[in-house]
Amino acid sequence: MELDPDRLLTAAAAFPPPEGVHFAYGTAGFRADASILDCAVFRAGIVAALRSLHTSSTIGLMITASHNPIQDNGVKIADCNGDMLCQDWEPFAESLANAHNPRDVLQVILDFIHKGNFFNSAASSGRVLLGRDTRPSGVRLLNAARQGVEAILGVDAAVMGVLTTPQLHWMVRASNRGHGASEQDYYSQLSHGFKCLLEMKPPGKGLITPWDGFIVDGANGVGASKLSRLQGIVKDLKLDIRNSGGEAEGLLNELVGADYVQKERKFPRHFGHLSELAKRCASLDGDADRIVFFYGEQAEGADAMNLRLLDGDKILTLFAMFIQNQLQELCSEVHEFPAINLGVVQTAYANGASTRFLKENLGIQVALTPTGVKHLHHKAAEFDIGLYFEANGHGTVLLKEEFLQVLRTFSPKSGTEGSRRSLQRLQAISEVVNQGIGDALSVLLLVEVALQYMGWSIQDWDSIYTDLPSRQLKVKVQDRTLIKTTDAETRVTHPLNLQAAIDVEAGKVSSGRAFVRPSGTEDVVRVYAEAGTQEEADSLARAVAIHVHELAKGVGAPP
């Protein structure tokens, strides 16, 4: 590769940094009020271009602020496998975003190259796919990203337009594997896998409950229109899409979307009719990389409806059961099939009831990682089939390339027609899931399939286990980075004595469990508690929050 300093300096001069702002590379890139983001996005374009040269492959750059309000925006980079930017590059991206002027930008790049992070053998040409969600600031910021990419000699910026985040990740992955990588190819692959799975349903399955489709909250974001395109292709899926971003429907992420439903436990706007709410409902987030499911249940002795939430833990459990069933059918009859390592990955936020169910009822190994999709994704990639979900609804299924190869080439010598079908079903599953990143559209299809195979209504699915009552609180402290954790954030090592205090509090309630961690997206310490009853979970969370406030220099009144 060859750097053209003049080209870079001239391009960088058009994107001066905003005064007094420090950009931190958060869990998934840079995010801020859209009015101050041009410089950071331009420079993220440079990072994506260099990454493309370094890996000799196509890279993606997405303009979105996910579930944040409409006036915010952000930028995320998709790496060559369609997953998130390799973590070794995050400090570089952050230093570049915070360089004071064009000369410093050049210097940060040269330092990075000289430190050996950049091979001399890097390619001389590269390509970055650019996508954006529906935010009004997206057009301007995508242009800034394009200029950043083009500031690096030899790298092309391909503007893919309005996409969901997972669609862009999918395109990067497909393109680097030499597969068709257009938006149409995405719909074709997902719908093909879905159709095959429905066709291969064992006899008698899927007829127990009438399949009424889903009422879907599109969060007034990009997911709504993409889902409606998917629906045009997938004939067997009935969807009633609301909050699709029309003028009369409201603003992106305002009182709608997966984050709102999961955190507030409230119905999104335009889900008001009591008679409908017993039906299957789903909610996407603003860039459609998360989904949660829900339905309404008549509250005892009241007119109101309670919201019953089926979060990432429930989706994970459903998928684990569905995939395990396929494997069991296959392995019980096709004896020569190699042993398969199936595992699931959760974070400490996973409800204890889900973890227990997965381990004890299904006998599946459960790994825990710190919060943040990148951690879960990498852990899940270690299994032949690895499933991961955060409770907030972000997750997917990963099938190792070697395992897929076995599926493609294996020809069973024993077993029934049904067990052979399991092989094909696993292959079809790999078409429906997005192996780059969690994808609301793909998860919706797989949930429909899994429910039909199980013959379950949403209420049946909900009842596989009962969540332990939980409570989350936030504590404001002087410096949240002083809180240090270990064991996938389940234990605190600093401040000293805090863990001992948490242990004592957890021991005072039935089935008590609590942990604290500094947030990666907000200036607070988060407290999570669960226990046998809601009162106990509430009191445990409060007691732990008070200890955090005392031992970690809380700001303001104790919680």
Residues at the binding site for substrate are 390-392, 517-521, 526
Select the residue interacting with ligand 16G from 1, 8, 11, 28 (CB under 6 A).
28
Binding-site positions for Mg(2+) read 66, 285, 287, 289
Nearer of residues 326 and 485 to ligand 16G, judged by Cβ: 485
Select the residue interacting with ligand 16G from 412, 476, 521, 550 (CB under 6 A).
521
CB 96 within 8 A of CB 90: no
Residue reference for tokens 């709608």? 256
For residue 117, the 8-state DSSP code is I
Buried b (16+ CB within 10 A) or exposed e, 352-390: bbbbebbeeebebebbbbbbbbbbbbbbbbebbbbbbbb
Cα 465 from Cα 482, distance rounded (Å): 37
Select the residue interacting with ligand 16G from 467, 520, 538, 559 (CB under 6 A).
520
Query: Is residue 289 near Mg ion by the rule CB under 5 A?
Result: yes
Burial of residue 302 (number of CB atoms within 10 Å: 0-12, 13-18, 19+): exposed
Cα 499 from Cα 310, distance rounded (Å): 31
| Residue 174, CA distances (Å) to 164, 386, 434, 526 in order | 15, 20, 10, 37
Backbone phi, psi, residue 33, to 5°: -60, 135
* Selected range binding ligand 16G among 270-278, 462-470, 491-499, 515-523, rule: CB under 6 A: 515-523
Q: Residue 427 touches which of ligand 16G, Mg ion, none (CB < 5 to 8 A by kind)?
A: none
Rg, C-alpha atoms of the chain = 24
Tally of CB atoms within 10 A around 23: 24
Nearer of residues 256 and 525 to Mg ion, judged by Cβ: 256
Q: Residue 83 touches which of ligand 16G, Mg ion, none (CB < 5 to 8 A by kind)?
A: none
CB 321 within 8 A of CB 305: no
Give the total of residues touching ligand 16G (CB under 6 A): 13
SS3 of 319-346:
HHHHHHHHHHHHHHHCCCCCCCCEEEEE
Shortest CB 377 distance to ligand 16G, Å: 9
Cα 199 from Cα 419, distance rounded (Å): 15
Active-site residue flag, 283 = no
Nearer of residues 308 and 375 to ligand 16G, judged by Cβ: 375
Query: Is residue 523 near ligand 16G by the rule CB under 6 A?
Result: no
Query: Is residue 285 near Mg ion by the rule CB under 5 A?
Result: yes
Q: Residue 169 touches which of ligand 16G, Mg ion, none (CB < 5 to 8 A by kind)?
A: none
Query: Is residue 27 near ligand 16G by the rule CB under 6 A?
Result: yes
For residue 20, the 8-state DSSP code is T
Nearer of residues 24 and 299 to ligand 16G, judged by Cβ: 24
Q: Render 233-265 in DSSP notation, one character per residue.
A: H-TT--EEEE--S-GGG--TTSS-SHHHHHHH-
Backbone phi, psi, residue 168, to 5°: -65, -45
Shortest CB 88 distance to Mg ion, Å: 24
Give the total of residues touching Mg ion (CB under 5 A): 4
Nearer of residues 127 and 394 to ligand 16G, judged by Cβ: 394
Shortest CB 515 distance to ligand 16G, Å: 12
Select the residue interacting with ligand 16G from 4, 264, 479, 522 (CB under 6 A).
522
Tell me the residue type at 176: N
Tally of CB atoms within 10 A around 206: 17
Nearer of residues 306 and 521 to ligand 16G, judged by Cβ: 521
Query: Is residue 283 near Mg ion by the rule CB under 5 A?
Result: no
Helices (H) and strands (E) in the chain, counts: 18, 19
Select the residue interacting with Mg ion from 55, 66, 324, 470 (CB under 5 A).
66
Tell me the residue type at 65: A
- Phi and psi based region of residue 206 (left: phi greater than 0; alpha: psi -120 to 50; beta: remaining): left
Q: Residue 311 touches which of ligand 16G, Mg ion, none (CB < 5 to 8 A by kind)?
A: none
Residue reference for tokens 């594997």? 177
Binding-site positions read 66, 285, 287, 289, 390-392, 517-521, 526
Nearer of residues 15 and 89 to ligand 16G, judged by Cβ: 89
Q: Residue 285 touches which of Mg ion, ligand 16G, none (CB < 5 to 8 A by kind)?
A: Mg ion
Residue reference for tokens 């004592």? 504
Shortest CB 91 distance to ligand 16G, Å: 17
Tell me the residue type at 534: Q
In Å, the largest CA–CA distance within the chain is 73
Q: What is the dihedral of CA 188, 194, 195, 196, to 10 degrees?
A: 110
Question: Which of 52, 57, 66, 419 is flagged as catalytic?
Answer: 66
Nearer of residues 390 and 448 to ligand 16G, judged by Cβ: 390
Shortest CB 237 distance to Mg ion, Å: 22
Q: Residue 313 touches which of ligand 16G, Mg ion, none (CB < 5 to 8 A by kind)?
A: none
Instruction: Find the binding residues for ligand 16G in span 362-401 (CB under 6 A).
Output: 371-373, 390, 392, 394
Query: Is residue 434 near Mg ion by the rule CB under 5 A?
Result: no
| Residue 456, CA distances (Å) to 427, 448, 535 in order | 23, 10, 32
Shortest CB 437 distance to ligand 16G, Å: 8
Strand 305-310 with 291-298, pairing? antiparallel
**In the sheet where 342-346 sits, what is the strand order?**
365-368, 342-346, 385-389, 395-399
* Selected range binding ligand 16G among 185-193, 216-224, 486-494, 514-522, rule: CB under 6 A: 514-522
Shortest CB 289 distance to ligand 16G, Å: 7
Select the residue interacting with Mg ion from 287, 431, 462, 489 (CB under 5 A).
287
Q: Residue 38 touches which of ligand 16G, Mg ion, none (CB < 5 to 8 A by kind)?
A: none
Which residues carry out catalysis?
66
Q: Could you list the residues that contact ligand 16G (CB under 6 A)?
A: 27-28, 371-373, 390, 392, 394, 519-522, 526
Q: Could you list the residues that contact Mg ion (CB under 5 A)?
A: 66, 285, 287, 289
